[in-house]
Amino acid sequence: MIIEYKITKEFIDFRNERANEFKSNGRDKRTKLIHADCELAEVLVSHLGLQEKSNVPNYDTISEKLGKCEYKCINNSGNVTIKYWCSIQNFEHFILWKFVEPHDEPLKEGDEGSIQICEIIPKKELIERAQISQYSRNLNEPDYYARAKKSVQITKNML
């Protein structure tokens, strides 16, 4: 499923707040903003009325069909990162998505493009196929990565 976007001031303000909440972990401000751009899919889906945006940090959206959902942006190598904290939260599905045209600068007001919802998968299934990341800082609370599937057809009525 492809969703077109035009970046608004409201999204930039929201994104900037989220970026300020991120731990630095060696990231500069520009990198934190690019990482916070990954909030876009859940914002778009909620604005379209397909799901309701969550007001709690444990998951991103909620829908009648899928329950509580966590959105993960697919990186340029086709993987998603799942932090340990996310892996232990109570939600039902991961929704994996990507920017159709990857960007290497923070989004700006007025930017236009599209995202693609690539996969909807039960949390347990994605965690089972995930591997421990070599970049985990604490192996007692490991971060994971998982490869996204490429050929899943997603439609609006699935959300």
pLDDT band at 55 (very low <50, low <70, confident <90, very high): confident
- Report d(CA 132, CA 27) in Å as an integer: 21
- Domain ranges (residues) in the chain: 2-158
- Cα atoms in the 13 Å half-sphere on the side-chain side of 121: 21
As given in the structure block, the two tokens for residue 65 are: 């069909």
pLDDT band at 151 (very low <50, low <70, confident <90, very high): low
Cα-to-chain-centroid distance, residue 88 = 16
Mean pLDDT confidence for 136-141: 77
E strand map for the chain: 2-6, 52-53, 61-63, 67-73, 79-82, 93-99, 112-122, 131-132, 144-147
Comparing CA positions, the residue from 3, 12, 96, 13 lying closest to residue 47 is 3
Mean pLDDT confidence for 1-26: 89
Percent of the chain at pLDDT above 70?
A: 97
